[in-house]
């Protein structure tokens, strides 16, 4: 039991140090990133751009990204968040300007991070260069979730793992379906 308490305490300590701190550019970028990631607007816009300007490869990447993002959101919001109810970081840790946009749902895992990583992970196989750009954006989303006080670092880590799992599921679904039909 001591190990779990140590992990929790370390997670809380790291969150407390990261929330509202960091490089000055993060303070300026965080509201922009938060707004773009809200309701997956960033990923829908990215999918639209990939499909419109990327030809066949762009349409394939966009479809894979949207499918993986949807799978991650279902796994996270309808699954994991219902199984483990975790309170968000305490309000007194949060800078006052961040308090108005605080979600009420369970903190664990981060749905924004799960969706972002799933999208980036699914876009990468059909179009690696676009996947790298999406991965950078996903990293910014994950960092913003901790910086703004919406999540603990472990929420973001597990959201990212869930997103990778959703991307792998989408990538392998055709093979699995084909095997079951044969």
Q: Give the residue, 70 or 28, on which the prediction is more confident.
A: 70
For residue 97, the Cα-to-chain-centroid distance in whole angstroms is 22
Predicted confidence (pLDDT) at residue 49 exceeds the cutoff of 90: yes
For every residue of 12-79, DSSP letters joined together read HHHHHHHTT-S-HHHHHHHHHHHHHHGGGHHHHHHHHHHHHHSHHHHHHHHHHHHHHHHHHHIIIIII
| Total domains in the fold of the chain | 1
Range of the domain at 46: 2-181
Q: Cβ–Cβ contacts within 10 Å for residue 63, how many?
A: 17
Q: Is the dihedral of CA 159, 164, 170, 174 positive or negative?
A: negative
Note the pLDDT tens digit of each residue in 101-141: 667 777 789 999 999 999 999 999 999 999 999 999 999 99
pLDDT of residue 100: 62
Q: Give the residue, 140 or 31, on which the prediction is more confident.
A: 140
CATH code of the domain containing 80: 1.20.144.10
């Amino acid at each position: 039991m001591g190990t779990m308490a140590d992990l929790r305490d370390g997670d809380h300590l790291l969150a407390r140090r990261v929330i509202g701190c960091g490089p000055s550019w993060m303070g300026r970028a965080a509201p922009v990133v938060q707004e773009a990631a809200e309701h997956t607007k960033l990923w829908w816009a990215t999918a639209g751009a990939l499909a419109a300007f990327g030809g066949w490869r762009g349409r394939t990447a966009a479809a894979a990204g949207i499918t993986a993002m949807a799978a991650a959101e279902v796994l996270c919001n309808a699954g994991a968040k219902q199984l483990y109810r975790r309170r968000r970081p305490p309000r007194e840790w949060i800078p006052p300007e961040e308090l108005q946009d605080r979600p009420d749902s369970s903190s664990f895992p981060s749905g924004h991070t799960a969706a972002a990583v799933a999208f980036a992970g699914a876009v990468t196989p059909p179009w690696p260069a676009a996947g790298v750009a999406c991965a950078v954006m996903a990293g910014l989303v994950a960092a913003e979730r901790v910086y703004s006080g919406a999540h603990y670092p472990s929420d973001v880590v597990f959201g990212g793992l869930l997103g990778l799992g959703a991307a792998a599921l989408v990538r392998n679904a055709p093979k699995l379906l084909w095997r079951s039909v044969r």
